[in-house]
């Protein structure tokens, strides 16, 4: 029989899986599911990017590339980062099959058994799994008491970090909250990172999707250039989730180490996809239109929820929001049936999909019970339908 490593045994399959499985099952039975659980834009990849991908295939860009990615793309990424105030040569950038792989390589390169890693909760589901697989120990700072903002919780962060802290992960705009951290918050992070010599991953995958705010890149702050790893990708801004294209930029010694992992695992990102990525970086109009649509939908959902007396922390970026489900009656009913209190949001989400046929993700998947994450990357019609059904079934 096979014996499995601690490494993989330590992690659980994604908690969102249960909801998708339930959605698929109900759909197979003919149910019309309003799916507000997805983590991807509901827009197609812009046509010029698709064409660039096809052209690249026709032109024979179908072989291996240099492991770190084609030079033209790394140079274009360096230009994009420079426009954000981040100075990186093309050899300080590795192009990966998705930002997820970038994060995985960085965590594997920095974290080993017993290393302390700090997350800001709620946090995207895979950070925890990646850190656990690397053997790291997690310290989690809860932002749910401060409307998911970091600035008023800086004291909590200060209490959570120490000279033992190896790594801090910052994700602004945030999945799942949509929060964009203020400059003062980032300066607070900088002060702590410098004081305790902490490396920080700045996951900026939603940076291009914001509503009236310009998020600062953490690596631009004084003292942060040599301790920040900036991660970004093409999935969200350009609706390219299935293409698998992302990157990270950081100090050269990290790039050298992570580059080994990269070359021995994925070799490189897909050749013609990298060429499509070049075109994506030239694409502005489609992104602007998509972001404008998301902003309208955000406003719509915030208003509809307010009509049902549900107040949310209004997101300033990404396309998610956290809906408090703690004091909900449908949830209380499931409490009475004997569910664990900390699983309230799971009961709410399971009930919401079974009764209202609306799929959402429990906050506990992100380390923050008592909330459900909804994605508003869905048409206004479906969003209205979803909220209406939740209200009708007593979930709001």
- By the criterion CB under 6 A, which residues form the site for ligand PLP? 39, 98-100, 124, 171, 175, 203, 205, 233, 235, 241, 246
Nearest-CB residue for ligand PLP? 98
For the bound state, the minimum distance from the C-beta of residue 178 to ligand PLP, rounded and expressed in Å, comes to: 11
Q: Could you tell me which of 192, 150, 146, 196 has the C-alpha nearest to residue 170? A: 150
SS3 143: coil
By C-beta, is 209 or 330 nearer to ligand PLP? 209
For the bound state, the minimum distance from the C-beta of residue 373 to ligand PLP, rounded and expressed in Å, comes to: 11
Query: Within 13 Å and on the Cβ side, how many CA atoms surround 276?
Result: 31
For the bound state, the minimum distance from the C-beta of residue 43 to ligand PLP, rounded and expressed in Å, comes to: 15
Q: Are 31 and 357 a contacting pair, CB within 8 Å?
A: yes
By C-beta, is 215 or 351 nearer to ligand PLP? 215
For the bound state, the minimum distance from the C-beta of residue 77 to ligand PLP, rounded and expressed in Å, comes to: 14
E strands present in 88-178: 93-96, 116-121, 137-142, 165-171
By C-beta, is 175 or 346 nearer to ligand PLP? 175
For the bound state, the minimum distance from the C-beta of residue 98 to ligand PLP, rounded and expressed in Å, comes to: 3
Compute how many other C-beta atoms are within 10 angstroms of the C-beta atom of residue 366: 28
DSSP state of 153: G
State residue 178 phi and psi, 5-degree precision. Answer: 80, 5
By C-beta, is 97 or 351 nearer to ligand PLP? 97
Compute how many other C-beta atoms are within 10 angstroms of the C-beta atom of residue 212: 8
Q: Could you tell me which of 248, 242, 198, 255 has the C-alpha nearest to residue 224? A: 198
By C-beta, is 166 or 203 nearer to ligand PLP? 203
SS3 251: coil
By C-beta, is 149 or 232 nearer to ligand PLP? 232
Q: Could you tell me which of 127, 125, 157 has the C-alpha nearest to residue 141? A: 157
By C-beta, is 46 or 246 nearer to ligand PLP? 246
For the bound state, the minimum distance from the C-beta of residue 38 to ligand PLP, rounded and expressed in Å, comes to: 10
Q: Could you tell me which of 66, 5, 8, 68 has the C-alpha nearest to residue 258? A: 68
For the bound state, the minimum distance from the C-beta of residue 239 to ligand PLP, rounded and expressed in Å, comes to: 11
Burial of 303: CB neighbours in 10 Å, binned 0-12, 13-18, 19+: exposed
Q: Are 210 and 180 a contacting pair, CB within 8 Å?
A: yes
For the bound state, the minimum distance from the C-beta of residue 101 to ligand PLP, rounded and expressed in Å, comes to: 7
By C-beta, is 283 or 328 nearer to ligand PLP? 283
């Amino acid at each position: 029989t096979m014996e499995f490593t601690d490494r993989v045994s330590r992690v659980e399959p994604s908690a969102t899986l249960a909801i998708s499985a339930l959605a698929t099952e109900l759909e197979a039975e003919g149910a019309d599911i309003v799916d507000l659980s997805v983590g991807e834009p509901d827009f197609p990849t812009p046509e010029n990017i698709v064409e660039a991908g096809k052209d690249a295939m026709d032109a024979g860009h179908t072989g291996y590339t240099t492991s770190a990615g084609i030079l033209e793309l790394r140079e274009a990424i360096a230009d994009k980062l420079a426009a954000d105030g981040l100075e990186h040569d093309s050899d300080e950038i590795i192009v990966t099959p998705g930002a997820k792989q970038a994060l995985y390589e960085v965590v594997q390169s920095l974290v080993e058994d017993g290393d302390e890693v700090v997350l800001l909760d709620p946090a995207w589901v895979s950070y925890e799994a990646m850190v656990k697989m690397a053997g790291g120990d997690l310290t989690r700072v809860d932002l749910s008491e401060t409307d998911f903002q970091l600035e008023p919780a800086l004291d909590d962060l200060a209490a959570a970090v120490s000279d033992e802290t190896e790594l801090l992960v910052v994700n602004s705009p945030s999945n799942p909250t949509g929060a964009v951290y203020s400059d003062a918050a980032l300066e607070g992070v900088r002060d702590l990172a410098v004081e305790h010599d902490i490396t920080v991953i700045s996951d900026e995958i939603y940076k291009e999707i914001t509503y009236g705010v310009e998020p600062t890149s953490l690596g631009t702050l004084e003292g942060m250039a040599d301790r920040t790893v900036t991660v970004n990708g093409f999935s969200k801004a350009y609706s390219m989730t299935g293409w698998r294209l992302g990157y990270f930029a950081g100090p050269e010694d990290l790039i050298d180490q992570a580059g080994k992992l990269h070359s021995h695992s994925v070799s490189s990102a897909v050749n013609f996809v990298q060429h499509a990525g070049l075109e994506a970086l030239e694409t502005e109009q489609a992104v602007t239109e998509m972001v404008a649509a998301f902003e309208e939908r955000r406003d719509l959902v915030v208003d509809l929820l307010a009509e049902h007396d549900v107040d949310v922390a209004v997101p300033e970026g990404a396309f998610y929001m956290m809906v408090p489900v703690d004091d909900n009656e449908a949830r209380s009913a499931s409490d009475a049936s004997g569910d664990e209190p900390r699983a309230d949001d799971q009961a709410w989400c399971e009930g919401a999909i079974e009764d209202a046929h609306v799929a959402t993700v429990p906050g506990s998947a992100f380390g923050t019970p008592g909330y459900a994450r909804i994605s508003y990357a869905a048409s206004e019609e479906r969003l209205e339908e979803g909220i209406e059904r939740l209200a009708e079934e007593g979930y709001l």
